[in-house]
Amino acid sequence: MKIISIANQKGGCGKTTTAINLAAALGLNGKRVMLLDLDPQAHASLGLDIESQDSLYNVISNLTPRKLKIENIIKSVEGIFDIVPSNILVGTLEQELADEIGRELKLTEILKAVEGQYDYVLIDCPPSLGILTVNALRASNELIIPVETSRFSMQGVDHLTDIVNLVKDRLNHTVKSNILVTMFDSRLRHSFAMLSTFKERFTGLLFDTIIHINVKLKESAVMGKPVSSYDKYCRGSKDYYSLAKEMISIEAQEERRLEEAQETAQEEDEPKDSRIEKVVRAIREAQEEQKVAKEQRQEVKAQEKEAKAVAKEDAAKAEEKSAETKKPRVKVTPEAKEAPDFKPLSDKMKAVVKKEVQDLMETKFWIDAAGAKSVYVTGSFNDWSLDENCRLKNNNGRWEASIPLKGGVYKYQFIVDGVWREDPNNPRKERNSFGDINSLVEVSTDGQTQAV
């Protein structure tokens, strides 16, 4: 079970929006997810239309007259993920826990009750660096720091990094930090300038996915729904779905590296004599397999020899019978005997097959992006989805991909290191409802691809 805190002491950077919509996106990818609202303002709970008198306060506090377990207050959100709600009383825990021994381990102990029931636990932290945030960091494996492209957000990252180092030094607990750029406005040069600054200063910590500014994210919060339920085709929904895919991919890579490291360690720790015995056993097994294969080949040859003799005898009898009846004999070759009966394709079926093959045209997309780590192309031809089929290959700074498309007109954009871009080599464009530019390409039935 991976526990991830989502925190930033600076408000208005998309922390709660990320907590809600990332939980929904991970749930839609088949993961079991629980969102824990640790913010006394309870914005995550209110953003999902969940109001409850019972909250995390009733689980942690020793002064509450209504003591509960965490299992008693978990609520389901549209069957996609679960949430542990919060309310204003959670804020009193800062003062209540101030003098308690082991106060920074309260949340860790509570989460043991749901260990193994979820793949991901997301913690929406308060916009402060108090005891509640320290509890969240101590319970977490990872930390996501949402930042908008501004100088103040960069300062918030520095302060939060100090707390992470303090948890490592004082509590002997390491938390992996990741930075997520949110509320990115691709219409402003300032946004790209700040993004470059973030990449230079926090190399290796930034997610490839960028969350663009999108009014649907605010509208969905007003309606009390994740954006994927409110409008699954909007840019905000697609951005958070891409973020979930990236996180799952990173986790899979880490698991593979861990397995390889464990196998290497086992081989190094294994005694030399044991390794020699393993090699000898493998050689003997290979020899045994070769012996069995040889016996099988000999058996097949014997069966073939017997079959040829029977076929020769049958042919002689057939020839003798044919001579007696004086009927013309048709010579049947061995190939004809073995060939299965089939009917040739009808002219209509041939025409259908030919048309289907002709309708799919290899369409080449390319963009010059030297220094980029990843480039995708997505558009109306694949419902604006992001997968390996639309990843471009790097050819000395030029990223290329050929995609089979049927005849028609398609809208598309490139995604270069998480940034959506129109095709600079295609003069035909149109502005979409998000204020961005879509490039247009036409695939004609005669096999020609051209801008429209």
Q: Do domains 2-257 and 357-451 have the same CATH topology?
A: no
Residue bearing the bigger pLDDT, 386 or 420? 420
Give the pLDDT confidence score for residue 35 in this predicted structure.
95
Say if residues 419 and 376 touch (Cβ distance below 8 Å).
Answer: no
Number of Cβ within 10 Å of residue 19's Cβ equals 29
Neighbouring-strand partners of residue 451: 441
- Domain limits of the chain? 2-257, 357-451
Of 105-109, 166-170, 448-452, minimum mean pLDDT range:
448-452
pLDDT tens-digit series, residues 240-277: 999 999 999 988 888 888 888 777 777 666 666 666 77
Residue 404 tokens read as 């089979």
pTM of the predicted model as reported, rounded to 2 decimal places? 0.59
Residue at token pair 């360690």: 265
Q: What are residue 364's phi and psi, to 5 degrees? A: -95, 130
CATH code of domain 357-451:
2.60.40.10
Residue 446 tokens read as 């005669």
2-257 CATH choice from 3.40.50.720, 3.30.70.20, 3.30.470.10, 3.40.50.300: 3.40.50.300
Say if residues 7 and 125 touch (Cβ distance below 8 Å).
Answer: yes
Residue 387 tokens read as 């997968």
Please, is 141 exposed, middle or buried when counting C-beta atoms within 10 Å of its C-beta (0-12, 13-18, 19+)?
Answer: middle
CA-CA distance, 232 to 234, in Å (whole number)? 6
Tell whether the torsion through CA atoms of 109, 87, 6 and 84 is positive or negative: positive
CA-CA distance, 128 to 134, in Å (whole number)? 10
Of 104-108, 153-157, 321-325, minimum mean pLDDT range:
321-325
Range 129-154 average pLDDT? 87
Radius of gyration of the chain (CA): 32
As a whole number of angstroms, the longest Cα–Cα distance in the chain is 114
pLDDT tens-digit series, residues 171-219: 888 999 999 999 998 888 888 988 888 888 888 889 999 999 999 999 9
Of 283-297, 360-374, 378-392, minimum mean pLDDT range:
283-297
Distance of CA 411 to the CA centre of its chain: 24
pLDDT of 148 above 60? yes
